[in-house]
């Protein structure tokens, strides 16, 4: 008979999990493995709420196993390390993003792209090497192979940098990989949510000219004054879009709802790159003719490898980049999820795990 979540491992742990497709989260007792030779064990202090958490707890992607304990924007302080751990010691500030395991043998792993490993293990809703389910950061403690642990710069506040572990790397990686990180370039950011606001901050820190493209005219002031974008386009305003045609070296498209690509492709210069980082449930229509005219590229990108995630957070430390967050107590999480459905957050909820997660 399969062991219960409380009996699978020796260390008792506590968090909030969803039990069914209602997605309602409630207190959940489970267990974590003892600190292995290469493991880092840490006390979780903060965990961001990513839009994927919302999809997963409701099984909207079709592969959720319940109980589902989400959270992959996790930061805390190391309490114990294994004998072979080199990068961390007790007391260090540490983070974990979307990944906790990969094969370490494939071509992608060899190129520090664990995020594209066919055998990657997600931080939650996956099965670990030992056959037990992975549970995420809406919990009191984490145990992780040190390879997947990220050192957090001393100057960054832990709550504000938690979202960088998913939203940050998801936007930093394509800016770097697609060469959209050169001063003087012009980059568009479509959608001003958790991902979009991180994209604006990183692109500005690279010295790039940033234009936010949004369906909501009301976000203009926010984008240009608070986040420092250079300009703002209302995507439904035909005249504005027309005037900006052929001006962008690249676009980071963070929108996960259905939306037309044609106007975005039109904004690109020749050789411009439209990079999708949102994940619409249904395929989008791809107009090919305008791609041919100007040798343009439509591409995708998904989070980033561990080496690049460390590079991203060190860069964030150097440039004082954090996410704009609304800090919430653990028992507010279900309300936060309802608000997230309506995009009613600027720009990321972060759960104050350390102060508000109380063992039942
Ligand atoms: Zn995420
Ligand atoms: Zn691999």
pLDDT for the residue 280: 85
Query: Which ligand has an atom closest to residue 113 CA?
Result: 2
Task: For the chain, give the longest Cα–Cα distance.
Answer: 66
Domain ranges of the chain: 11-166+304-356, 167-300
The CA distance from 19 to 21, in Å, is: 7
Query: Which ligand has an atom closest to residue 194 CA?
Result: 1
pLDDT for the residue 181: 98
The CA distance from 331 to 311, in Å, is: 34
Query: Which ligand has an atom closest to residue 71 CA?
Result: 1
Tokens of 72: 């992959």
Residue ranges in the chain whose pLDDT is less than 50: none
User: How many CB atoms within 10 Å of residue 260?
Assistant: 11
Give the fold, CATH level 3, of 167-300: Rossmann fold (3.40.50)
| Å from CA of 283 to ligand 1 middle | 21
pLDDT for the residue 54: 95
Query: Same fold for the domain at 11-166+304-356 and the one at 167-300?
Result: no
Query: Which ligand has an atom closest to residue 101 CA?
Result: 2
Give 246's strand partners: none
| Å from CA of 122 to ligand 2 middle | 13
| Å from CA of 304 to ligand 2 middle | 13
Instruction: Write the pLDDT tens digit of every residue in 13-35.
Output: 999 999 999 999 999 999 999 99
pLDDT for the residue 1: 56
**In Å, how far from its chain's centre is CA 336?**
17
The CA distance from 333 to 194, in Å, is: 17
pLDDT for the residue 120: 97
pLDDT for the residue 360: 63
Query: Which ligand has an atom closest to residue 116 CA?
Result: 2
| Å from CA of 123 to ligand 2 middle | 16
Superfamily of chain region 11-166+304-356: Medium-chain alcohol dehydrogenases, catalytic domain (3.90.180.10)
pLDDT for the residue 61: 87
The CA distance from 314 to 291, in Å, is: 36
The CA distance from 191 to 222, in Å, is: 13
| Å from CA of 121 to ligand 2 middle | 10
pLDDT for the residue 2: 74
The CA distance from 152 to 302, in Å, is: 21
């Amino acid at each position: 008979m399969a062991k219960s979540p409380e009996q699978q491992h020796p260390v008792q742990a506590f968090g909030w999990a969803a039990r069914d497709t209602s997605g309602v989260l409630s207190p959940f007792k489970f267990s974590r493995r003892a600190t292995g030779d290469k493991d880092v064990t840490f006390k979780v202090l903060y965990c961001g709420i990513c839009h994927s958490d919302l999809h997963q707890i409701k099984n909207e992607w079709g592969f959720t196993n319940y109980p589902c304990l989400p959270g992959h924007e996790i930061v805390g302080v190391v309490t114990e390390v294994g004998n072979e751990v080199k990068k961390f010691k007790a007391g260090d500030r540490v983070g974990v993003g979307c990944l906790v395991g990969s094969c370490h043998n494939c071509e992608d792993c060899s190129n520090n792209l664990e995020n594209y490993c066919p055998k990657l293990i997600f931080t939650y809703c996956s099965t670990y090497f030992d056959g037990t389910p992975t549970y995420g950061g809406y919990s009191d403690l984490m145990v992780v192979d040190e390879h997947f642990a990220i050192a957090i710069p001393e100057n960054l506040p832990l709550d504000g940098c938690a979202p960088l572990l998913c939203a940050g790397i998801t936007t930093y990686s394509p800016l770097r990989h697609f060469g959209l990180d050169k001063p003087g370039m012009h980059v568009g950011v479509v959608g001003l949510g958790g991902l979009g606001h991180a994209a604006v901050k990183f692109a500005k820190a690279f010295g790039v000219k940033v234009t936010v493209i949004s369906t909501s005219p009301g976000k203009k002031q926010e984008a240009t004054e608070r986040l420092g974008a250079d300009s703002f386009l209302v995507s439904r305003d035909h005249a504005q879009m027309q005037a900006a045609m052929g001006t962008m070296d690249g676009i980071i498209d963070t929108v996960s709802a259905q939306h037309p690509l044609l106007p975005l492709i039109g904004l690109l210069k020749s050789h411009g790159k439209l990079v999708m980082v949102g994940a619409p449930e249904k395929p989008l229509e791809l107009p090919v003719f305008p791609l041919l005219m100007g040798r343009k590229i439509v591409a995708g990108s998904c989070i980033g490898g561990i080496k690049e995630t460390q590079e991203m957070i060190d860069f964030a430390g150097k440039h004082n980049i954090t996410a704009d967050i609304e800090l919430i107590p653990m028992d507010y999480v279900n309300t936060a999820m309802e608000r997230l459905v309506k995009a009613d957050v600027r720009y990321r909820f972060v759960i104050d795990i350390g102060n508000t997660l109380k063992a039942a």
